[in-house]
Structure 1
Amino acid sequence: MNKHPVWTYSILLVALMALVAFALLQGATTVSLSHLAGQQFNTLFNIRLPRIIAALVSGAMLAVASAFFQAALRNAIADPSILGIAASANLFQVLGGLLLPALLFNKFIFALLGGLVAFLLLLQFQKQMDPYRLILIGVALNAMFVGIQQIFTPTTGSTTTTTFATSTWTTTLFLVILGIIGLMLALLLAPWANYLKIGDAQLKTLGVGVTWVRLILLLLAVYLTSTVTASVGVLPFIGIIVPHISRYFVGHDYRQVVPFSVLAGAFLLLLSDTIGRLIVIPNEITAATILAVIGGPFLIFILARQGRATTRRI
């Protein structure tokens, strides 16, 4: 644990601001603030800026959602993309396109419904299985939801590619409003996650309603995940990478883990999207692809280094 979290936060915040400035000015065409007019102004404020904000908010939301999944399930490799939550949310928003116009609010409602369905399915197994079997169930659910989605995608004409390239001010502001609500609740509920590091029996003797604490944190995590999925699609491995890095730098107190994860998640996703934009100009690689390249080896490293210990102290 870092004994000087103020410095850690400060360095991360400065790095984040520098990355935002770089992402804003660099792309297929370099924008100069000294000659900002016409097409350059449109590129900066109507194309890159909403995309950057969407990436920042999405990264923050997914990182916090994963931290809460890990706390509530006592499983340090729990991630909404692995548990099937994100895939189910994506499936339901695609199916929703068969019933209602593909409006933002409709997509959010169907994505939230899908996230809840996967969540309820996981709850059926959570008490009966060890954490690693629960992850395997999540992987199976994820594969099933993705397969069903592929069947229906040609019918709806929906695209399932995760990309920030289509971000507009309308979609971004919708995401920001719902994201602020969710992240504010997460900061308020962060101390609750600390309770779950204590055994259930001991918590009950202290008068803590452990079932309600766990349920509320999980529902908030589902809300955060579903909101991002409805807006930009499925983004893998943020929950594997960011909470672990956060706990390394600021310790295991969720009053520190949650706000640090907000900044670190925003940084990681914006970095991934920026790399994807610049690495093969004029084409792009999606942020999801960059995250998979980074996150896969990171997960293998965690499992190889800690084994079953990854589920003990979170």
Structure 2
Amino acid sequence: MKKTTITYFALIVLLAVTFYFALTHGASKVSFTNLTNTQLNILFNIRLPRIFSDLVAGAALSVSGAFFQASLRNPIADPGFMGVSTGASLFEIVFALIFPSMFLGKIFFAILGGCFAFLLLVQFQSRMNPYKLIIVGVALDAIFSGLISVIAPEKNAGMSLATSTWTTTICLGIIGIIGIIGTLFLSSWANYLKVNDEELSSLGLSAQKMRLILLLLATILASAVTANVGVLAFIGIIVPHQGRFLVGHDYDKLIPFSIIAGSWFLLFVDTVGRTIIAPDEIAANILLAIIGGPVLIAILAKENRGKSYD
């Protein structure tokens, strides 16, 4: 049996097991053998929206990270800490303070904020190498985070997985699923970007156009996630990084892997966070930072030894 087949089979099994555990465990355990009205309410109005948000957000952030890495030719590029997600969060919070009841407006402004941060990065792209561009992105992230702290200093400002409702889940699902399907059709462009721009031009292909479209789609996905469940960094690094090890560097294989693995990974992390010290929770973004930090260091160490991920 091929390594890729085994990988996908293992992911599907893990996803199914984690889905069942997430559905039945939490502050209170739920048994399907004797469901009460209270338990039904917990299942359908609290846990299912959160689980589906985990699945869509995890997939969207994973493919978003993969497209950022392909476009910038950098294995540590991730909208989660390059200013895109925090730019989306800043614009969303500002709009929410002005028009608190217009939920769809908040989503639109979050996407607008993500695109604004993306356009700022594009201005520096042609003048900097990929690693200096990452530093610019981190600086933008710090600026936007500081502004958020000034504008909305409350501890729980903005959205989070814990605030997931059917309204936020459906909105995220519509934008996320359409965008994720788009990444499947455009995955071959990510492969083309492995070739230098001059060679692509000789083949009649515009590297700049492909790069711009991939980054824009990745930005919209990351911004939509931020608008509905908050800023979640490192998924876009962790999942594609593991995917390159398990299924290879071909983006036609890496993107489908990232969709499934990203869905499972965020569901797993969020489930651990809300069950390990139940009834209290550890936010998913905290656990992702704990996991993502060492992964980021490992990637940089391998890059320093001359090993490429693209």
Contact 1:56 1:265 in 2 (8 A): yes
Match of 1:7, SS state, is helix
What amino acid sits opposite 1:175 in the alignment? L
Identical aligned residues as a percent = 52
What amino acid sits opposite 2:214 in the alignment? L
What amino acid sits opposite 1:194 in the alignment? N
Contact 1:55 1:266 in 2 (8 A): yes
What amino acid sits opposite 2:40 in the alignment? F
Instruction: Tell me what 2:224 maps to.
Output: 227
Structure 2, unmatched stretches of 5+, are: none
Instruction: Tell me what 1:145 maps to.
Output: 144
Return closer, same or farther for 1:298/1:170 CA change in 2, 3 Å cut-off: same
Asked if residue 173 in structure 1 is aligned to residue 170 in structure 2, the reply is yes
Instruction: Tell me what 1:206 maps to.
Output: 203
Return closer, same or farther for 1:195/1:82 CA change in 2, 3 Å cut-off: same
Contact 2:59 2:260 in 1 (8 A): yes
What amino acid sits opposite 2:236 in the alignment? G
> How much has 1:313 moved relative to structure 2?
4.1
**Please, what is the CA RMSD of the aligned residues?**
1.6
> How much has 1:60 moved relative to structure 2?
0.4
Contact 1:160 1:233 in 2 (8 A): no
Return closer, same or farther for 1:94/1:32 CA change in 2, 3 Å cut-off: same
Match of 1:34, SS state, is coil
Give the distance between the partners of 1:3 and 1:307, measured in 2 at CA.
31
Asked if residue 299 in structure 1 is aligned to residue 299 in structure 2, the reply is no
Instruction: Tell me what 1:49 maps to.
Output: 48
Give the distance between the partners of 2:101 and 2:140, measured in 1 at CA.
25
> How much has 1:236 moved relative to structure 2?
1.1
Structure 1, unmatched stretches of 5+, are: none
- Which deviates more from structure 2 when the two are superposed, residues 124-133 or residues 219-228? 124-133
Contact 1:59 1:267 in 2 (8 A): yes
Contact 1:52 1:270 in 2 (8 A): yes
TM-score by length of 1: 0.95
Deviations 1:74-129 (A, max 9, x none): 11100012211001110011111243334321111111111111111111111111
> How much has 1:308 moved relative to structure 2?
7.4
Give the distance between the partners of 2:193 and 2:22, measured in 1 at CA.
39
Deviations 1:156-179 (A, max 9, x none): x79436631211111111111111
Asked if residue 217 in structure 1 is aligned to residue 227 in structure 2, the reply is no
Instruction: Tell me what 2:179 maps to.
Output: 182
Give the distance between the partners of 1:45 and 1:6, measured in 2 at CA.
33
Give the distance between the partners of 2:28 and 2:113, measured in 1 at CA.
39
Equivalences for 1:54-73 in 2 at 5 Å?
54-73=53-72
Instruction: Tell me what 1:27 maps to.
Output: 26
TM-score by length of 2: 0.96
Instruction: Tell me what 1:249 maps to.
Output: 246
Instruction: Tell me what 1:195 maps to.
Output: 192
Q: How many residues align?
A: 310
